[in-house]
Amino acid sequence: MEFLISRTEMSRFDYRTEATSTNDVLKEQATADAGAWPDLSVVVTDNQTQGRGRLGRVWLAPTGKSLAVSVLVRPRTPAGDALSPHQLGWFPLLAGAAMTRAVRSVVEASMQPVDGAKEAEDPRHEVTLKWPNDVLIDGYKVCGILCELLPDASGIIIGAGLNLSLDEHDLPTLTSTSLLLVTRTDPDPDRVLAAYLHELVALYRVFLRNDGDALRSGLHADVSVLCGTLGSAVRVELPGGTDLIGTATGIDPDGRLTVVNQADGEERTVAAGDVTHLRY
């Protein structure tokens, strides 16, 4: 694949016909030769053999039917200062917002009438962000995001796995979907990837121009608007093994999810956890 459009969005673009894990490849390369891998470098493949998601979960897809994308950012404020740990915590949400916007644009474009035809009668689709880093179409997962620090903490690798043209038999879970299944057309990988990278870079630059302040940059507002978790009944599997069941009410200034506990009505703040949207 040439990815002629996507290449214009990044400072370095590396497409590989096969990779174990794009996150691992980028981490190894950027650690061994930092100067060759500047801010906004990317590694992409449509054949990832050892992909993984959050909590060490395996992420696999048939060759040519998905994209694994890893972007290296080396964030600094306009004054050249590094961001604080709580500001770095916004990057999964930033990437999730970028992918949600990109996927939404692809889905909406597929619904447009062609050559003067009447408006399509297909149902509209809801594309939302599930806190903190999954993208859903009509409640089904189409993309997951995994962010990792470089070993020397000089940068962050933002990994994303996007289901492009998987059919019903390819889906990894019953709660997954793909762009093909939703739009009923084979997506152009370059256009989809370029849309994501464009949104990611735009959000990233505004975030940095505002010294990594999610409120002042508008990132907090952008994420809140896109996040379908807010207002939903949820079950959060907390790191200690316990569950929190309640209603997600908001995202705090550090990117943490606030949940009103169903059991006692108290508001809890969640920094990490596996969220399930409940349907009653």
Per-residue pLDDT of 127-163, as tens digits, reads: 999 999 899 999 999 999 999 999 999 999 999 999 9
Site of tokens 């930033």: 94
Q: Do residue 70 and residue 118 come from a single domain? A: yes
**What count of Cα atoms within 13 Å lies in the side-chain half-sphere of residue 246?**
20
What is the model's pLDDT at position 52? 62
Q: Do residue 120 and residue 140 come from a single domain? A: yes
**Domain endpoint, select from 210, 225, 240:** 225
The verdict on residue 95 lying in a domain is yes
**Domain endpoint, select from 225, 245, 266:** 225
Q: Do residue 213 and residue 272 come from a single domain? A: no
Provide the pLDDT confidence category of residue 123 given band limits of 50, 70 and 90: low
Q: Do residue 263 and residue 183 come from a single domain? A: no
**Domain endpoint, select from 181, 206, 225:** 225
Q: Are 223 and 93 in contact (CB under 8 A)?
A: yes
Quote the number of domains for the chain. Answer: 2
Q: Do residue 221 and residue 235 come from a single domain? A: no
Question: Looking at the predicted structure, is the pLDDT value of residue 121 above 60?
Answer: no
Work out the number of other CB atoms within 10 angstroms of the CB of residue 128. Answer: 22
Q: Are 197 and 71 in contact (CB under 8 A)?
A: yes
Q: Which two structure tokens, joined as six digits, stand for 101?
A: 């916007």
For residues 93 and 99, give the distance between their C-alpha atoms in angstroms, rounded to a whole number.
Answer: 10
Question: Looking at the predicted structure, is the pLDDT value of residue 120 above 80?
Answer: no
Give the percent of the chain with pLDDT over 70: 92
What's the average model confidence in pLDDT over 47-55? 71
pLDDT in tens, 149-207: 999 999 999 999 999 999 998 888 889 999 999 999 999 999 999 999 999 999 999 99
Residue 251: domain span: 230-277
DSSP 3-state of 119: coil
Kindly report the CATH number assigned to the domain that includes residue 240: 2.30.30.100
The verdict on residue 1 lying in a domain is no
The verdict on residue 17 lying in a domain is yes
Q: Do residue 176 and residue 270 come from a single domain? A: no
The verdict on residue 49 lying in a domain is yes
DSSP 3-state of 92: helix
Q: What is the mean pLDDT of the chain?
A: 91
pLDDT in tens, 207-261: 999 999 999 999 999 999 999 999 999 999 988 889 999 999 999 999 999 999 9
The verdict on residue 135 lying in a domain is yes
The verdict on residue 23 lying in a domain is yes
What is the model's pLDDT at position 240? 80
Q: Do residue 34 and residue 158 come from a single domain? A: yes
What is the model's pLDDT at position 56? 55
Q: Do residue 186 and residue 235 come from a single domain? A: no
CA distances from 146 to 39, 73, 92, 119 (A): 18, 14, 7, 38
Q: Do residue 261 and residue 189 come from a single domain? A: no
Question: Looking at the predicted structure, is the pLDDT value of residue 280 above 90?
Answer: no
Question: Looking at the predicted structure, is the pLDDT value of residue 278 above 60?
Answer: yes
Q: Do residue 38 and residue 62 come from a single domain? A: yes
Kindly report the CATH number assigned to the domain that includes residue 212: 3.30.930.10
Q: Do residue 217 and residue 246 come from a single domain? A: no
The verdict on residue 271 lying in a domain is yes
Q: Do residue 14 and residue 151 come from a single domain? A: yes
